[in-house]
Amino acid sequence: MAQTAERAPAGVDRGTLGRMLRQWLPETAVLDHPEQLRPYECDGLSAYRKLPLVVVLPDTIEQVQTVMRYCASQQIPVVARGAGTGLSGGALPLENGVLLSLTKFNRILDVDLLNRTARVQPGVRNLAISEAVSASGFYYAPDPSSQIACSIGGNVAENAGGLHCLKYGLTVHNILKLQVVTVEGDLVTVGADSLDAAGYDLLALMTGSEGMLGIIVEITVRLLPKPASAKLIMASFDDIEKAGNAVGNIIATGIIPGGLEMMDNLATRATEDFVHAGYDVDAAAILFCELDGTPEEVSDDIEQVQKVLEESGCTDMRIAQDEQQRQLFWSGRKAAFPAAGRLSPDYYCIDGTIPRKKIGYVLTRIAEMGQEYGLRIANVFHAGDGNLHPLILYDGNQPGELERTEELGGKILELSVEVGGTITGEHGVGVEKINQMCVQFDKSELSQFHALKAAFDPNNLLNPGKAVPTLSRCAEFGAMHVHKGELKFPELERF
């Protein structure tokens, strides 16, 4: 950044900030007309919207560094944005801040097949990595349902999972190295091309940090050889609890399926209408179990799983006969969110994760809670990981319905914590689950999070207000909300 550059006054306005940033960025890389800003006003959680002061679209690391240096010097907050598919409002802009979009960083820089790694820019779409190496027999394992759209940078920032992470891990298990621009504009390398790096495991720490610790400008991912064989079994159950128990029974055999997913009746009907995959629309739940590996392993495993499914009381079982049918069976599961969107004007996706053995109990409780609130809920989720995705169907145009939906969502998250789980398995806290963080963590734990954040960002300029609630916010929330009869922040003032 040129030292002689004109400085913007404190409390900078949109026009001035735009002009300032155009000193260092191309004209088209700075957006400051409200009309241009509109597409950036929300992420996938569209109930929350705000216009940023300015959007910047840098396409070199130096430009990102310049923007960060300038914003740090002027105490202007910065929110990073990948593809904006996040479901927790993590990329929601700040009215007094810069929105830094990484969409122009869309190049795959290098593929090293012998080391099985790819060096990519953060704006590269998740699926594009697998597509680029597919012909060589490789793929990038984490496959969120949003993989055609979401960016790898956003995946790292959220520690995204997918349909196959029970066996192949989450984002954190499938990356080796990051280039990160700090809040002061310095470039640091975190992780290494080797399997581990010296010092603290900052690679794990950066993963899932929701844009609060630095701007990720380059990622080295691990590539896996495609399994030689994959077989998908689809089993129907007349009772959702039986389906839930079947999940634990499969794991207990010592087989780790490549994918283990579940849909309830409402979700099955919605997706069947959408993709016509031939699902059993009378089943209370269907379980997808994919076995992959060498052909010999798969044939060993499939026999065993079939037996377990029968013993668990499934009413019907189908094995995809060929690759085309396997893709067709999966297509409904992958399209479950848009399909739910056709059932109702709006839907709200919950991300609580629970111990597998509680699946049956929690699904039953969720159904009861839905009835209490008079809202329909479709369930489609990562059963093998215990990661639930209840979709609450609502109509935002009906007064009060969004508020009721959010309240119900909060209740479901608290239930997840109560049974030993967490408020978010893969979508992140963002702005959405900030109150529930007060349920999951106590004051000293939240204070430790704040101290950690300050180690990277002492003036709280990176995505401030997200992911970790302030203690006073929790006191306010706690006052309305007493958890298991104990006040979590007894010493703080009530409002």
Partner 1 sequence: MQSVGQAGNNVDKEISLLVKQAITEGVPLRLRGGDTKAFYGRASEGQPLELRGHNGIVSYEPSELVVTARAGTSLAELESALAEHGQMLGFEPPHFAEGATVGGAIACGLSGPRRPYAGSVRDFVLGTRIINGRGELLRFGGQVMKNVAGYDISRLVVGALGTLGVIVEVSMKVLPIPAREETVRISMLCSQAIEQMNEWAGQPIPISGTCHHDGTLYVRVSGSVKGVEAAIGRLDGELIDEGAAFWHSVKEHRHAFFADDRSQWRISVPQAAPPLPLDGEWLIEWGGGQRWLKSDAQAVVIRKQVEAVGGHATLFRGGDRSDEVFHPLPPGLFNLHRNLKNAFDPQRIFNPGRLYREL
Neighbours of 444 (CB within 10 A): 8
- Angle formed by the axes of helices 323-334 and 265-275, to 10°? 120
**If binding is defined by CB under 6 A, does position 414 make contact with ligand FAD?**
no
Does position 185 interact with ligand FAD (CB under 6 A)? The reply is: no
Measured from the CB atom, is 347 or 373 closer to ligand FAD?
347
Residue 279 within binding range of partner 1, rule CB under 8 A = no
Q: How far is the CB of 242 from partner 1 (least distance, A)?
A: 15
- Residue from the set 32, 59, 143, 158 that interacts with partner 1 by CB under 8 A: 158
| Shortest Cβ 289–ligand FAD spacing (Å) | 18
Residues 138-141: contacts with CB under 8 Å, at least 24 apart: 138/113, 138/223, 138/224, 138/225, 138/226, 139/223, 139/224, 139/226, 140/174, 140/221, 140/222, 140/223, 140/224, 141/165, 141/168, 141/169, 141/174, 141/222, 141/224
Contact track, ligand FAD, 93-132, x by CB under 6 A = ---------x-------------------x----------
Q: Does 181 bind partner 1 (CB under 8 A)?
A: no
Nearest Cα to Cα of residue 369 among 425, 413, 432: 413
Work out which of 197, 284, 487, 492 binds partner 1, going by CB under 8 A.
197
- What b-and-e string marks burial along 141-154, b requiring 16 or more CB atoms within 10 Å of the CB? bbbbbbbebbbbbb
Q: Identify residues 65-84 at the interface with ligand FAD (CB under 6 A).
A: 79-84
Q: If residue 37 lies in a helix (H) or strand (E), which one and from where to where? A: helix 34-37
Which range binds ligand FAD by CB under 6 A, 26-34, 207-215, 443-451, 453-461? 207-215
Q: Which is nearer to partner 1, 76 or 170 (CB)?
A: 170
* DSSP 8-state assignment for residue 257: -
Q: Which amino acid appears at position 312 of this protein?
A: S
Q: What is the DSSP string of 388-411?
A: --EEEEE-TTSTTHHHHHHHHHHH
CA dist., res. 251 & res. 249, Å (int): 5
Closest CA to 463 of 245, 212, 270: 212
Amino acid at position 274, single letter: F
In the block, residue with structure tokens 């914590």: 417
> Tokens 């055609």 map to which residue?
148
How many other C-beta atoms can be found within 10 angstroms of the C-beta atom of residue 281?
14
Shortest Å, Cβ 339 to partner 1: 23
- Is position 120 an interface residue for partner 1 (rule: CB under 8 A)? no
Residues in 233-262 that interact with ligand FAD by CB under 6 A: none
43 binds, among ligand FAD, partner 1, none (CB under 5 to 8 A by kind): ligand FAD
Q: Is 380 in the site for partner 1 (CB under 8 A)?
A: no
Tokens of 328: 């067709």
Smallest separation (angstroms) from partner 1 to the CB of 486: 15
Per CB under 6 A, which of residues 425..444 are in contact with ligand FAD? 426-427
DSSP letter, residue 385 = G
In the complex with partner 1, which residue's Cβ is closer, 109 or 455?
Answer: 455
Q: Which of 57, 64, 91, 350 binds ligand FAD (CB under 6 A)?
A: 91
DSSP, collapsed to helix, strand or coil, labels residue 137 as: coil
> Footprint of partner 1 on residues 343-362 (CB under 8 A)?
353-357
Residues in region 142-161 near ligand FAD by CB under 6 A: 144-146, 150-151, 153-155, 157-158, 160-161
146 binds, among partner 1, ligand FAD, none (CB under 5 to 8 A by kind): ligand FAD
Choose the one of ligand FAD, partner 1, none that binds residue 438, judging by a C-beta under 5 to 8 angstroms depending on kind: none
Among residues 8, 53, 87, 190, the one that binds ligand FAD under rule CB under 6 A: 87
Minimal distance, residue 325 CB to partner 1, in Å = 22
Instruction: Name the residues that contact ligand FAD, by CB under 6 A.
Output: 43-44, 79-87, 90-91, 102, 122, 144-146, 150-151, 153-155, 157-158, 160-162, 210-211, 215-216, 337, 426-427, 463
